[in-house]
Amino acid sequence: MNGERGFSALMKSQSDDRSPSAFARAPRSRWRAIIAIPLAFVAAASFGFVAFLAQLRNTETRPEQHADGIVVLTGGSSRVSDAMELLAAGYGKRLLISGVHPTSRASDISRSVQESQALFTCCVDLDRSAVSTRSNASETRRWAHERGFKSLIVVTSNYHMPRAVLELSHAMPDVTLIPYAVVGERWRDEPWWSNGATFRLVLSEYVKYVAAGARAKLADLGIDLGLEFADQPAVPQRPTTAQAN
């Protein structure tokens, strides 16, 4: 009799597991997972975006220390002129202008900084090879190592600075980087989120920053995906000085 009762209890337990409520619980748990995964992704992306925004400076501040050299990544308004001012003030021994368009001549650039013609002639190097922030970093590494520079002031737009520093520090971890963020007039005049073009620019830059960080981490593991954001259209119009980052 005891054996029959045990068998009956086992059958009842199995019957309970097949009950409609048990079957209903499984889809619910799957739906929770389906909803939780995108929510977790959105939360992580939002947190990362806030952290990215925290790195963007709203005012231009002169570097607190001098460096061996200065590198300016071309593309934004007044980047080159600001870099020339730092060079003239003795913040570095030489200046690399990285990302100069192949069709631009040195005279085209020097005319935009007429007050520093002599300084431009003696102490400025032009990099015409870089077409993206990643190649900016490669060319800057070559230039710095050839001259034995161990510290560089990095000049670029404030929204571009986090990605620029990420790429440069990954390319040359042995070189100290000192950021000098150039703040554009539009950024000063109105909040970035109130202008559609500026909002899209910041959002696009954040996506590129995340992709660059992921690629750098994979490269450290020996995985090179070869992915790279081109910062310049394939067939650009000839600019006054250089290519856009």
Q: Say what angle helices 196-220 and 20-54 make with each other, to 10 degrees.
A: 100
| pLDDT value of residue 231 | 61
Confidence of residue 28 (pLDDT cuts 50, 70, 90): low
Closest CA to 122 of 152, 98, 95: 95
Phi, psi of 177 (to 5 degrees): -110, 130
For every residue of 33-73, DSSP letters joined together read: HHHHHHHHHHHHHHHHHHHHHHT--SS----SS--SEEEEE
Q: How many CB atoms lie within 10 A of CB 164?
A: 26
| pLDDT value of residue 207 | 95
Question: Residue 52 above 80 pLDDT?
Answer: yes
Is residue 128 within 8 Å of residue 232, measured between CB atoms?
Answer: no
Q: pTM value?
A: 0.77
Question: Residue 233 above 70 pLDDT?
Answer: no
pLDDT digits (tens, 9 = 90+) for 186-223: 888 788 888 888 999 999 999 999 999 999 999 888 88
Closest CA to 161 of 222, 245, 66: 245
Domains assigned to the chain: 69-220 (3.40.50.620)
Within 13 Å and on the Cβ side, how many CA atoms surround 27?
4
